[in-house]
Amino acid sequence: MTTPPNAPVVITAVLTPDQALAFAQFAKRAGWDEFKANARDDDEAYLMIDAANVLRESLARAGFAPR
């Protein structure tokens, strides 16, 4: 399957409440160093951060917004 560049990708994930909260905590706590260490370059690290923020915001809307 080929997705056109910049086309939205819609995903559905089924998580337990503990998994949802744990990932929300991770997305909140992870910083540049964690993403950069797992990216091939700065551009990919920024994309990873953007994606984590989208997921974090979705979890917050579902009631999983750690302080």
Q: Read off the pTM.
A: 0.84
Report pLDDT for 1: 62
Give the model's pLDDT for residue 6: 86
pLDDT along the chain (67 residues), means of 10: 83 96 95 97 97 95 92
Q: Looking at residue 22, what is its pLDDT?
A: 96
Q: Who's near 66: CB < 8 A, 6+ residues apart?
A: 21, 24, 25, 28
